């Protein structure tokens, strides 16, 4: 199959300057709710980019769990590869690929750890199995096979039995503090609509970008 022949014409909608909300957060919230109501699978899934110490970029998918005017929050193991990379370079970009709506949202900024209190509040809201999994998995470390993971999970389950599971010291949240948003809406003939909000002198400057 010649994948060069795979094509899609984008015809669902457009995005005009007059359509945009005053703040990028308000625009994101509008699009997020529209994607959620459209029934998109895992609407909060986002790709996040980090950079290794040798300069090699790394990308993986995580889940957005909170957002407000302070930023966008996801949770992970603080010993994971992504956490180590963020400790070296706190700049990152995330991407929401809402492709069935012919939309993408890109957000770039600095990352900071959230407080233990915030992490604990979210951790206690997770299903018990997910709480146990946070203790059982040494994320990004090499394991010989899945049986090792299952055995560790059983040990952790036996350890806590029916008691309250505490927040692991090496698990918690990161907040991405946005400096740039880009809203992309597919259009016919590849003349897509792209609008960028860029933070300058504590104000958001909005520009239309060529596709």
Active-site annotation, residues: 190
List, as own/partner pairs, every contact residues 82-89 make where C-beta atoms lie below 8 angstroms and the sequence separation is at least 24, other chains included: 82/48, 82/50, 82/58, 82/140, 83/174, 85/50, 85/51, 85/52, 85/53, 85/58, 86/50, 86/111, 86/174, 88/51, 88/53, 89/50, 89/51
| CA 53/CA 50 separation, integer angstroms | 10
């Amino acid at each position: 199959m010649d994948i060069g022949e795979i094509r899609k014409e984008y015809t669902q909608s457009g995005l005009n300057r007059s359509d945009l909300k005053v703040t990028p957060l308000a625009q994101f919230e509008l699009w997020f709710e529209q994607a959620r109501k459209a029934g998109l699978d895992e609407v909060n899934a986002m790709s996040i980019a980090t950079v290794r110490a040798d300069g090699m970029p790394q990308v993986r998918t995580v889940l957005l769990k909170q957002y407000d005017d302070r930023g966008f929050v996801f949770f992970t193991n603080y010993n994971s590869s992504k956490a180590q990379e963020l400790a070296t370079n706190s700049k990152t970009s995330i991407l929401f690929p809402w492709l069935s709506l012919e939309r993408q949202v890109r957000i770039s900024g600095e990352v900071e750890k959230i407080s233990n209190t915030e992490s604990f509040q979210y951790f206690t809201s997770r299903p018990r199995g997910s709480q146990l999994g946070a203790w059982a998995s040494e994320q990004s470390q090499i394991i010989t096979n899945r049986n090792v993971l299952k055995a560790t999970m059983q040990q952790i389950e036996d350890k806590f039995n029916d008691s309250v599971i505490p927040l692991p010291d090496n698990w918690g949240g990161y907040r991405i503090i946005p400096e740039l948003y880009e809203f992309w809406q597919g259009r016919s003939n590849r003349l897509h609509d792209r609008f960028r909000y860029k933070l300058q002198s504590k104000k958001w400057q909005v520009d239309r970008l060529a596709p």
